[in-house]
């Protein structure tokens, strides 16, 4: 069915089709509508979900953890300050390996106060043990959210699915919605490995592990994320087989014979696509690599892909405040370290707090990458 939906509407619609057992949430711009629309599905009896409008995001994630620990398919939605307020709880969900799934409409973090898009919220949660997916379009957000549920449950890892605030959350696009029953059948019921409400197998969740076991728990959690990538790819392949829409962990656009490519995540990939087309028309050997999965980071794939090019411009919609370069750049550089045929890496930070990023800006980056030019360690695109 072809529908016109904003990013938030599409995420809410995906949640309706997922039909989670429990949703606990607190409103925040620009993701409020996801749960708001969903709450209307609840009140109209279109889902079987128990919905609670708790008093803060910290409580929302705590309630989600309680629900997930008792074996329920659990979701919420948030952004920015909301995700930041969940920070403590994100680590709990990660450590307990609870497959909670959270769409976020990515927005910058205070201070100063700003409600517009960048990736500082999700990237600040990088080390909490959550899978992270970034989307270019509304339909990709919708598909990714449905896939994320299956991935999370398969890997026993929580997952964040990011659509850029306002740029995607509030813009209407055409989506081909999937058949609801087919989605529910594809996901199937959630069968947790263990749960609090299994009276025959009582368990204790969250006990203290000091020097005796903490390290081992962490090591196995890390292993869980490290080995998640093939499972993520399996789910993508299965989704494609069932619904006919295929996604990769990363997507190459016109990279065949490219010398210089731009690597980035999120909605700005659309601008970059246009810039690639424009430069290609003029004979420029440029392309784009869009990274969809930030956690589990596809180290091998990044290495294999990026060593084919002479120059890679890495675009970050966030900054690590003097970690030398942007956060994504760091990850890419680490993946490439020691590889043969290392490309030259250029670091660009752009679009903080929703700062306009246009195909012209994208084209200038590609031109710079073609020229191999590197004026500064990091180029802050468009800052006054």
Partner 1 sequence: MKHTNSQADRQIADGKHHPLEPYLRMDRIPHIWCSTCGLGTCLNSFLTAVRNSAIPRENIAVVSGIGCTGRTAGYVNLDSFHTTHGRAIPFATGLKLANPELTVVVISGDGDLVAIGGNHFIHAARRNMDINIICVNNFNYAMTGGQFGPTTPETARTTTAPYGSFEHPFNLPFLADSCGATYVARWTALHVRHLTASIGEALERRGFSFIEVISPCPTVYARRNRLGTGLDLLQFYHDNSVIKNGIDTRECDIRFQEQLIIGKFVDEEKTTFHDTMTGYLKDAVGEKYVPYVGPMEMPGNGD
Ligand X SMILES: Cc1ncc(C[n+]2csc(CCOP(=O)(O)OP(=O)(O)O)c2C)c(N)n1
Beta bridge partners of 311: 260, 344
28 binds ligand X (CB under 6 A): yes
Token reading at 61: 């994630």
Residue 76 binding result from partner 1, ligand X, none, given CB thresholds of 5 to 8 Å by partner type: none
Q: Which residues from 37-76 bind ligand X, rule CB under 6 A?
A: 57
Smallest distance from partner 1 to CB 79, Å: 11
**Cα 354 → chain centroid:** 18
CA distances from 204 to 69, 114, 195 (A): 10, 41, 10
Single out the residue of 81, 114, 169, 267 in contact with ligand X (rule: CB under 6 A).
81
36 binds partner 1 (CB under 8 A): yes
Of 57 and 271, which has the nearer Cβ to ligand X? 57
Of 25 and 138, which has the nearer Cβ to ligand X? 25
Helices then strands, counting H and E runs in the chain, come out as 14, 15
Find, among 274, 346, 353, the residue nearest to 318 by Cα. Answer: 353
Is residue 261 within 8 A of residue 165, CB to CB? The reply is no
What string marks each residue from 223 to 262 as x (binds ligand X by CB under 6 A) or -?
----------------------------------------
Residue 337 buriedness (CB in 10 A; 0-12 / 13-18 / 19+): exposed
Q: Rounded to 5 degrees, what angle do the CA atoms 131, 134, 136 make?
A: 160
27 binds partner 1 (CB under 8 A): yes
Find, among 31, 81, 26, the residue nearest to 57 by Cα. Answer: 26
Helix 7-18 to helix 32-43 angle (10° resolution) is 40
Location of structure tokens 């440029």 = 286
**Residue 148 and residue 152: Cα distance in Å, rounded?**
6
Rg (CA), the chain: 20
169 binds partner 1 (CB under 8 A): no
Scanning 48-56, 149-157, 270-278, 321-329 for contacts with partner 1 by CB under 8 A, the matching segment is 48-56
Single out the residue of 82, 158, 298, 326 in contact with ligand X (rule: CB under 6 A).
82
Single out the residue of 13, 26, 142, 350 in contact with partner 1 (rule: CB under 8 A).
26
CA distances from 337 to 300, 302, 330 (A): 11, 11, 10
Residue 212 binding result from ligand X, partner 1, none, given CB thresholds of 5 to 8 Å by partner type: none
Of 26 and 134, which has the nearer Cβ to ligand X? 26
Residue 113 binding result from partner 1, ligand X, none, given CB thresholds of 5 to 8 Å by partner type: partner 1
Scanning 3-11, 16-24, 26-34, 169-177 for contacts with ligand X by CB under 6 A, the matching segment is 26-34
85 binds ligand X (CB under 6 A): yes
What string marks each residue from 103 to 132 as x (binds partner 1 by CB under 8 A) or -?
-------x--x-------------------
Smallest distance from ligand X to CB 120, Å: 14
Of 32 and 269, which has the nearer Cβ to ligand X? 32
3-state secondary structure 309-328: CCEEEEEECCCCCCCCCCHH
Which stretches of the chain bind ligand X, using CB under 6 A?
26-29, 57, 81-82, 85
Which stretches of the chain bind partner 1, using CB under 8 A?
26-29, 32-33, 35-36, 39-40, 43-44, 53, 55-56, 81, 110, 113
């Amino acid at each position: 069915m072809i529908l016109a939906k904003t990013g938030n509407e599409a995420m809410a619609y995906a949640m309706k089709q997922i039909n989670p057992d429990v949703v606990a949430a607190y409103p925040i711009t620009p993701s409020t509508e996801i749960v708001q629309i969903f709450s209307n599905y609840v009140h109209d009896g279109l889902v079987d979900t128990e919905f609670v409008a708790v008093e803060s995001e910290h409580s929302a994630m705590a309630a989600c953890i309680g629900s997930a620990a008792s074996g329920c398919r659990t979701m919420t939605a948030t952004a920015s300050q909301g995700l930041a307020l969940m920070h403590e709880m994100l680590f709990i969900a990660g450590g307990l390996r609870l497959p909670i799934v959270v769409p976020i409409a990515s927005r910058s973090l205070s201070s100063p106060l700003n409600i517009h898009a960048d990736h500082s919220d999700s990237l600040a949660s990088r080390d909490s043990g959550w899978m992270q997916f970034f989307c270019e379009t509304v339909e990709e957000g919708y598909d990714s959210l449905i896939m994320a549920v299956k991935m999370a449950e398969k890997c026993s890892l929580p997952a964040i699915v990011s659509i850029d605030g306002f740029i995607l959350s509030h813009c209407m696009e055409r989506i081909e919605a999937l058949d609801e029953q087919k989605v529910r059948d594809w996901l199937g019921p959630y069968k947790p490995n263990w749960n609090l409400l299994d009276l025959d197998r009582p368990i204790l969740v969250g006990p203290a592990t000091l020097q005796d076991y903490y390290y081992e728990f962490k090591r196995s959690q890390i292993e869980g994320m490290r080995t998640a990538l093939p499972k993520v790819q399996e789910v993508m392949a299965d989704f494609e087989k069932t619904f006919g829409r295929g996604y990769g962990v990363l997507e190459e656009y016109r990279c065949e014979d490219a010398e210089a490519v731009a690597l980035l995540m999120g909605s700005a990939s659309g601008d970059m696509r246009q810039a690639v087309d424009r430069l290609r028309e003029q004979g420029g050997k440029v392309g784009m690599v869009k990274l969809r999965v930030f956690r589990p980071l596809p180290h091998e794939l990044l290495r294999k892909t990026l060593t084919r090019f002479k120059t890679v411009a890495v675009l970050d919609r966030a900054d690590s405040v003097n970690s030398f370069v942007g956060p994504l750049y760091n990850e890419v550089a680490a993946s490439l370290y020691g590889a043969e045929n290392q490309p030259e890496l250029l670091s660009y930070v752009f679009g903080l707090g929703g700062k306009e990023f246009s195909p012209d800006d994208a084209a200038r980056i590609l031109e710079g990458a073609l020229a191999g030019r590197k004026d500064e360690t990091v180029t802050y695109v468009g800052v006054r």
